[in-house]
Each structure stands twice: as C-alpha cells, then as structure tokens.
A and B are shown apart, each in its own frame.
Chain A
Amino acid sequence: NAGVTQTPKFQVLKTGQSMTLQCAQDMNHEYMSWYRQDPGMGLRLIHYSVGAGITDQGEVPNGYNVSRSTTEDFPLRLLSAAPSQTSVYFCASSSPGLNTEAFFGQGTRLTVV
C-alpha cells in the first residue's frame, strides 16, 4: 500500500523560482493538509482541504498556493521561493469520523538559496 506519497524528497531552489510539491494518497481520504517543520517550532499547518474543490488557509499560508481538483491529489505551489521557505514539508491525509488518524507522507526537504 502506497499510503501518502510526496515528491520530490529533496529540492534546492534559487530565490524567486517557483515549484510544486506533489502529494497523492490512495486511501480515498477526504481530508488533506500541508505542514512545514522548522527547527524548534514543530509542525505548522500551511493549507488544508476537506474535499475536492475546497481548500482553506492554516496558520502559515503566505507564499503558498493550493488546489484540490481530485480526491487523491493535493499539490502545494511556491510561487516565488524565498529563503524563509527553507523547511521540511509534510503532506497528511485522513478521513472524518471517530477513531480517525492522520497519515503522513515521507516529507520533502526544501532549501532555498
């Protein structure tokens, strides 16, 4: 079972470049979300989606864009990369209801120089 798949695993960008972090899940989960992990700060929510066509901002949305055209995919776009976006990015998915659990991808380490 693939679960939640993130690509790429590592990426180096130059300031001002744009890129898309891919996230796909094969568990038919309605909910998907993006987090960034920075040293000493834990994981913080960037954007999330409760279903195809529905997205909303999290705690740190500035500089990022998302869309959800299918249940399976939830890409995260950096429109103009900045050094402050150097971080490890995690995608997660889950389903609503009791006894729910968030499943995480392997993470993407992004460096902006």
Chain B
Amino acid sequence: AQTVTQSQPEMSVQEAETVTLSCTYDTSENNYYLFWYKQPPSRQMILVIRQEAYKQQNATENRFSVNFQKAAKSFSLKISDSQLGDTAMYFCAFMFQTGANNLFFGTGTRLTVIP
C-alpha cells in the first residue's frame, strides 16, 4: 500500500481568509493521480480537486488550488476566501495510473471555518 501522510489532524481558519492543508506521499511510481476529497458532516465523499502527476501545472478549481511538488512528493491544498460551507474533513488520496483505480487515503484534516 502506498503511504499518504496528512500531518495536521485539525485546523481552523477565519471566514474569508486563506488556509493550506498539507499532504505528503511515498511512491516509486512515476505516473499516478492525486486527489483531495471533502467530507462534510453529511458523510458524503466529495471530490474537490485532482492532479495528474505527468502535468507540471498545478490544478485549480475556483477557490481551491494545489501546490504539487513531484520531487518532494508533496501535494498541498490551498483554500482561498474560506466559507462556512468549507467546514469539513479533508482527505488527500493517491491512485496509480494503471490498475483498479484503488485509492490510498491519508488520515484526514478536520477544517473548521470560524465566522
């Protein structure tokens, strides 16, 4: 199994501010995908953003962007203009490019947006 590490169990941010969640991973593969999932209290797993390892450009989705450092095996998530609805558990996940699309998850970061 691939190792995915999220070293921040909990974080908080003021509404409208910016926050960065950290993720590192360990793999010997060159081609893979990385994901950030959001899990609100409803328990639903919601895809926030994805990054293909072969792409040098960092992925962005509206207020969400990543800093992908392939050599350092780092994949952080930046949330800009934080909103109350961003309060959730956030999971970083790794997927091999070839195979059964199985995901390897980190332990999660619980983010609280403070009004």
Binding site for B on A (CB under 8 A): 31, 33, 35, 40-45, 48-50, 56, 58-59, 88, 90, 92, 94, 96, 98, 100-102, 104, 106-107, 109
Q: Can you identify 23 A-B contacts, CB atoms within 8 angstroms?
A: A33-B100, A33-B101, A33-B103, A35-B105, A40-B9, A40-B107, A42-B105, A42-B107, A48-B102, A90-B45, A92-B45, A92-B103, A94-B101, A96-B101, A100-B33, A101-B47, A101-B50, A102-B101, A102-B103, A104-B44, A106-B43, A106-B44, A107-B43
Q: For residue A31, which residues in chain B have a CB less than 8 angstroms away from its CB?
A: 100-101
Q: For residue A88, which residues in chain B have a CB less than 8 angstroms away from its CB?
A: 43
Q: For residue B106, which residues in chain A have a CB less than 8 angstroms away from its CB?
A: 42
Contacting pair B102 A58 (CB below 8 A): yes
- Give the contact-size bracket for chain B: 20 to 34
Determine if B91 is an interface residue (Cβ-Cβ < 8 Å).
Answer: yes
Determine which of A44, A98, A101, A106 lies in contact with B105 in the assembled complex, contact meaning CB atoms within 8 Å: A44
Contacting pair B107 A100 (CB below 8 A): no
Determine if B72 is an interface residue (Cβ-Cβ < 8 Å).
Answer: no
Within 8 A of A (CB), among B58-115: 91, 93, 95, 100-108
Determine which of B44, B91, B103 lies in contact with A45 in the assembled complex, contact meaning CB atoms within 8 Å: B103
Q: For residue B102, which residues in chain A have a CB less than 8 angstroms away from its CB?
A: 33, 45, 48, 58
Q: Give Cα A72–Cα B50 distance, bound, in whole angstroms.
A: 26
Considering only CB atoms, which chain B residue lies closest to A97 in the complex?
B101
Q: For residue A59, which residues in chain B have a CB less than 8 angstroms away from its CB?
A: 1
Considering only CB atoms, which chain A residue lies closest to B37 in the complex?
A104
Q: Give Cα A39–Cα B101 distance, bound, in whole angstroms.
A: 24
Contacting pair A43 B105 (CB below 8 A): yes
A5 CB to closest chain B CB (Å) equals: 13
Q: Give Cα A107–Cα B52 distance, bound, in whole angstroms.
A: 27
